[in-house]
Amino acid sequence: MSATLSGKVALVTGAGRGIGRSIALALAGRGARLFLTARTEGELQAVAEQIEARGGEARHLASDISTSEGVRAVFEGFAREFDSLDVLVNNAGLGISGPVLDFAERDLETLLAINVKGLFLCCQQAMRMMVPARRGYIINISSVVGFKGYANQAAYAASKHAVMGITKSLAVEAQPHGIRVSAVLPGAVDTGLMDALRPDLEKALLMKPDDVADAVLFLLSLSDSAAIDEIYVRRRTSAPF
């Protein structure tokens, strides 16, 4: 995990807080040049300023990737700042819990728009830049619910199972072009999203966002001859499965 990312350009979605913020800071700490996006301008500005205060480079654009217009704005903004894309980290996501019996259709549509549609469109845009260059790495932040089920999380689990389907299929499509695609599936992490999904969990027992960032750095430290499909990162206090 000591490999340098000097000169590499990375785009991180959902970069204003939580896991996305930690990933952005970790990538910048290894020398990557960052383009950050999320919905809240003030949070993005704070992360960019922190990166630059440490001697790094960061540009940012507030946008809502739940729409095709929002995704297009992100990549048009990216193209104004950088000529190539080496790493895309799809971290933006939303968590809404509730029993299937009472789950609102509008909440389902919102979850799928951000967690699935937005991620898919970002992958598509990134591939359009990476394929001609014949290099790149797409890392999708999924969740333990991408392979497990929990009560009151059917809609969220559906969205994260979809992320895994996209990741697995895209990895096969991308390989002939020299592009790697992986997923990181965290268990419970101390973020605002987890507060919404599992308010019953004791914060002292949760993982930290930096633990997920370390998994991303590990993937990016691999040699060109290696590939990892997915990494499941769980709390030490929880059962493996």
What are the residue ranges of helices labelled H in the chain? Answer: 18-29, 41-53, 68-81, 105-112, 119-133, 154-174, 192-197, 209-220
Decide if 3 is inside a domain: no
By C-alpha distance, which of 126, 12, 127, 121 is closest to 60? 12
Is residue 137 annotated as part of the catalytic site, yes or no?
A: no
Decide if 38 is inside a domain: yes
CATH number, domain of 201, equals 3.40.50.720
221: number of Cβ within 10 Å: 14
Decide if 51 is inside a domain: yes
> Phi first, then psi: what are they for 14, rounded to 5°?
60, 40
> Phi first, then psi: what are they for 179, rounded to 5°?
-110, 135
Considering its fold, how many domains does the chain have in total? 1
Tens digits of pLDDT across the chain (241 residues): 457 899 999 999 999 999 999 999 999 999 999 999 999 999 999 999 999 999 999 999 999 999 999 999 999 999 999 999 999 999 999 999 999 999 999 999 999 999 999 999 999 999 999 999 999 999 999 999 999 999 999 999 999 999 999 999 999 999 999 999 999 999 888 887 777 677 777 777 788 999 999 999 999 999 999 999 999 999 887 666 5
Mind giving me the DSSP string for 136-151?
EEEEEE--GGGT---T
Cα–Cα distance measured from residue 223 to residue 218, given in angstroms and rounded to the nearest whole number: 11
Decide if 159 is inside a domain: yes
Decide if 140 is inside a domain: yes
Decide if 207 is inside a domain: yes
Question: What pTM, to 2 d.p., does this model score?
Answer: 0.94
Catalytic residue among 137, 150, 156, 232: 156
Looking at residue 2, what is its pLDDT? 53
Decide if 2 is inside a domain: no
Decide if 4 is inside a domain: no
Domain that holds residue 224: 9-233
Chain position carrying tokens 């350009």 = 9
Looking at residue 1, what is its pLDDT? 47
